[in-house]
Amino acid sequence: MIQRVLSGRYELEEKIGSGGMAEVYKAHDRLLARPVAIKILHAEYRSDVEFIERFHREAKSAARLSHPNIVSIYDVGVAGNDHYIVMEYVQGNTLKKKMQDEGPLELLTATRIAKDIASGLTHAHANNIVHCDIKPHNILMTEDGHAKITDFGIARAVTESTLTYGGSVVGSVHYFSPEQARGGAITPKSDVYSVGIVLYEMLTNRLPFTGDNPFTIAMKHVEEEPIAPSRYRPQIPPMLEAIICRTMSKSPEIRPTSFELVQELSKVEAALSVTVKSDPDATQVLPRTEIPPRRTVRTQEEPVADEPVEQKPFYKSKVFIMMMALVLMLGFGVGIFAAFGKVLNTEETVTVPEVKGKQLALARQILEDNKLRVNVAETYDANVPAGQVVSQDPDVGKTVKSDRLVTIYVSKGGESIDMPDLAGLAKSAAIERLQKLGLNLGSVYEKESSSEPGTVLSHDPTTGTKINRGQTIDLIVSRGEPKKKVEEVKVTREYTHVPNVENASLSVAESGIEGRGLHVGSVTYEDSTQAEGTVIAQDPSPDAEIEVGSYVDLVVARRAEPEPVREPEPEPVREPEPEPQSNPIQDDVPSREGDQAKER
């Protein structure tokens, strides 16, 4: 394969990369005598006519792009069954390889690379082309440290023709936007979201969203907020962290355009450049110093009779020095008085803005913009995503003096712990232990048992299950042994109330029903939006009084499956009814009867 020559012009030399859609080779252009990179589609896409057609159309559109931060596309063609794109060959590694080799990049380096990517996207978006697959693997680094975006042609074609191939979303799940995860409309701001993730990774060497499978990661893009990058790297300036938060907003309306992103990153780059240049150990050019002329010292033997007496200038006299000292003392006193008076008479007040539910970087910026100081404290909260503000002190709406210290409590998420074993504990002791672990008590069901009444028999979730602090735990406790019947003859019917087992898991529901001396009857499953495996209905209804030993029927939720689309059945063709034929004999009857009437 390496010895092939495509279209009699491009001589393949070596394989330099491979992806989900194509393989990339370094080749020699015999006509122009230059190195090029050639991307050849995998064999499985040769039979997709629609994909091939859009692939060529979008690759030709991307070939119109000409920008220093975009890998140029030279040619698109077909050689036998191979569909290929000829691109500019960039001598260097990908941004992903650079991060793997160097770890977290310098603040100034990461900012400049992000600005290069945004600059290239600004040119592409101006030409109505959306990349749709911005990630470090598709960013090539030149030898002089500049970034070039690649894979424009193939990314656009894949997005349009195979976005839902096989019922799954095509793309890089760690980097695509929430609208791509939902299968919604893709806009230029989808690329901006991906740039935010790339910048996040360059600064922290971490991905904001990870998971066990692509579906989990995609849902995190849609539902969760990322941990503030400053938690991993406190040196990140608030201005740069605020840019990352804006670009990674769930709402495209909040994200900046690629052009606005270039402007914001340019400001950060200028500020970081000043910081680097202010290094006191750097070589500096000092101003020229004039050397005073050497004074001649006279000896006593030299004649001095005819020389005039040298007079001291006024600015060197004692009177001038005393006057200047007095002026300085007066000025110093006035300054102290003014500063002291300002402290006593500070009346500027501000209203504490609301920052609950906001990311740490954004909350800090809002408070500082309102002339307030910020103190950050962390707390566990399973109901608030990590990195978001849980509460604040003073609370929102309070009027305080400017420069007041506001403490914001940032969620660390729900701390993951193992479910302890509560079986054998008294109910009160089990509840106390749950409270100490930061867990909440859910439903408590009773069940007849030989254990002492009030003893915990089991619980849901079970022992050893991974849970988060703040989670709800259901308990099943003993109600004691069943009462013995003293006289069989005098036994009368015993009634009990049906327990409420709706919204409980099936196993918990069965235990609760049997604990009341009842039996589980039929169990049916219905499609429902509730959690799979939970009881959504029961018969008899809760608190109904029924005879002990009766049966309770349950309806359990199951995941709803989409109904197959049925084509409407064609209507049967009806044969036209035959027209009634006239009977000459019958037609003559009335006339004959009329003639007889006339004769009469």
Active site positions, annotated: 133
Are 30 and 11 spatial neighbours (Cβ–Cβ below 8 Å)?
A: yes
Structure tokens, 476: 């099943």
Beta bridge partners of 91: none
Q: Is 199 exposed, middle or buried (0-12, 13-18, 19+ CB in 10 A)?
A: buried
Are 37 and 24 spatial neighbours (Cβ–Cβ below 8 Å)?
A: yes
Cα–Cα distance, 209 to 226 (Å, whole number): 7
3-state helix, strand, coil in the chain (%, to 5): 35, 25, 45
Closest CA relative to residue 435, chosen from 445, 422, 446, 452:
422
Beta bridge partners of 376: 408
Cα distance from N-terminal residue to C-terminal residue, the chain:
115
Give the phi and the psi of residue 159 in degrees, each rounded to 5: -60, -35
Cα–Cα distance, 584 to 589 (Å, whole number): 9
DSSP state letters, 245-262: HHHT-SSTTTSPPHHHHH
Task: Give the type of residue at 20.
Answer: G
Q: Is 437 exposed, middle or buried (0-12, 13-18, 19+ CB in 10 A)?
A: middle
Cα–Cα distance, 423 to 479 (Å, whole number): 14
Beta strands in 487-588 (DSSP E): 495-497, 519-528, 535-539, 545-547, 551-559
Structure tokens, 214: 């692509």
Put the strands of the sheet holding 440-447 in their side by side order. 440-447, 472-478, 456-460
Give the phi and the psi of residue 495 in degrees, each rounded to 5: -115, 155
Closest CA relative to residue 159, chosen from 57, 307, 90:
57
Are 231 and 360 spatial neighbours (Cβ–Cβ below 8 Å)?
A: yes
Task: Give the type of residue at 553.
Answer: D
Instruction: Provide CB contacts within 8 A for 14, sequence distance 6+.
Output: 2, 25, 26
The SS3 of residue 328 is helix
Q: What is the DSSP letter of 532?
A: T
Cα–Cα distance, 21 to 38 (Å, whole number): 13
Are 112 and 95 spatial neighbours (Cβ–Cβ below 8 Å)?
A: no
The SS3 of residue 32 is coil
